[in-house]
Chains A and B, each alone.
Chain A
Amino acid sequence: MTSRITSSQTIGPFPHEGWRWAAELSQQGATATTWITIGGVLFDGQGQPVSDGWVEAWSPVAATGEQGRPMPGFRRCATGERGEFRIELGASPQAAPGEPVAWITLFARGLLKHQFCAVFLADAPGLANSELLAQLPAARRDTLIAQRQADGSYRWDIHLQGDRETVFLDFS
């Protein structure tokens, strides 16, 4: 017996009141001693920032260090007026080499179905042997790789459409 799946629709421009609780919990920080901060901008196909998008990040590794908290390893962030977003996660030495630092789910007005992707750190060990990255066309792998900045944070921009379109995933 196969049930037919329920289709997707856009979040529209107004999820903020309903989604606020998890965005606020995301600001409360992690218990981990080592922090990873990933920031960037969500762009549309014309290179303009998307100011009403949402980024969700989930890190199973960070979750193991946040047991007992309301939503271990999960972060939610609305993009700002300049399309900017910022995710802070607790790092863990147990992170499996080659696994992304977080699985990302992306939403926006004008995006009729959420998009899955993942983010890797450019200086993470095991990147060259990542089973996930190996499944992507070589020329597009860097769309999922965050680059380390002078202040120790990581920069990762997301492009919904166009020449620099981020690789979006469907899990099998």
Chain B
Amino acid sequence: MQFDEVAPGVYPSLIHPPYQSTRIRGPMQPPLRVKAPVPANDGVQFSPALIGPKDLDLTSHGSSAPLGEKIIVSGRVVDEDGRPVRRSLLEVWQCNAAGRYWHKKDQHDAPLDPNFHGVGKMFTDDDGRYRFVTIKPGPYPWGNHDKAWRPAHIHFSLFGNVLAQRLVTQMYFAGDPLFAFDPIFQSIPDEAARTRLAAHLNMDHTDGGNALGYDFDIVLRGRHATPMGL
């Protein structure tokens, strides 16, 4: 595959002072573009046996249903040519409906839910599609500044088909009023690129009276080079 330069403003500014820890953790030098055929054409081959049914249903990890609003998140993963990214591993993690992560270092004074751990993983199918069941995560405060609250989000980790397609991002919910106040979301200069991180309600993917459906499509980097002479 070939990897074109990413248009300015689409990726976050690595040093975005309103997000305080970027000041000492963001690299100052731009990444060096190199020719390296291996990462552009080869990637990690995960065994399908790694995925079980519970990995696709985050509401199934406890002895009863978790608290919160049950939702179905689905979408399609494609490359820059619009071709499906097939059989690729996708991991998700999130806080519970009250805004608390199942993590020993999360100090937010909101209840843990014994029936919700907030982790899942899956493969895209032959059309690049994925689907999982979860509950809608809550917003939560963090220590970045006074009244710092993260908009509700689900973390996504994608491996793509080749190493250079690797992506970690966050899926938000369209129309969240916290967008304007969140330095992590606002670290992406391009407004359209920010907007593409928001999932949209889709009644066609809603399961009757069971769960609302949200769509979140993902475009990974990379295109297939056109052979010379065609």
CA distance A46 to B218 in the complex (A): 35
The answer to whether B188 touches A7, judged by C-beta atoms less than 8 angstroms apart, is: yes
- Which bucket holds chain B's interface residue count? 35 or more
CA distance A27 to B94 in the complex (A): 25
A73 interface neighbour in B21, B44, B80, B92, Cβ under 8 Å: B44
The answer to whether B22 touches A110, judged by C-beta atoms less than 8 angstroms apart, is: yes
Which residues, 118 to 146 on B, are CB-close (under 8 Å) to A?
118-121
CA distance A140 to B115 in the complex (A): 49
What is the interface of chain B mostly: helix, strand, loop, or mixed?
loop
CA distance A24 to B49 in the complex (A): 16
Indicate if B106 sits at the interface (CB-CB under 8 A): yes
The answer to whether B34 touches A169, judged by C-beta atoms less than 8 angstroms apart, is: yes
- Given A108-B25, A110-B22, A161-B28, A5 and B220 contact (CB-CB distance below 8 Å): yes
B27 interface neighbour in A10, A63, A165, Cβ under 8 Å: A165
The answer to whether B27 touches A161, judged by C-beta atoms less than 8 angstroms apart, is: yes
Indicate if B230 sits at the interface (CB-CB under 8 A): no
A18 interface neighbour in B35, B118, B220, Cβ under 8 Å: B118
A45 interface neighbour in B25, B93, B105, B163, Cβ under 8 Å: B25
Q: How far is the CB of A65 from chain B (nearest CB, A)?
A: 13
Most buried by A among B13, B118, B169: B169
Indicate if A148 sits at the interface (CB-CB under 8 A): no
Write out the residue numbers on chain A whose beta carbons fall within 8 Å of the beta carbon of B22.
110-112
Write out, one digit per residue, whether chain A residues 80-124 have a CB within 8 A of any chain B CB (1) or not (0). Answer: 000000000000000000010001010111111111101000000
9 A–B contacts from the bound complex (CB under 8 Å): A7-B11, A14-B103, A70-B50, A114-B167, A160-B26, A167-B29, A168-B27, A171-B163, A172-B3
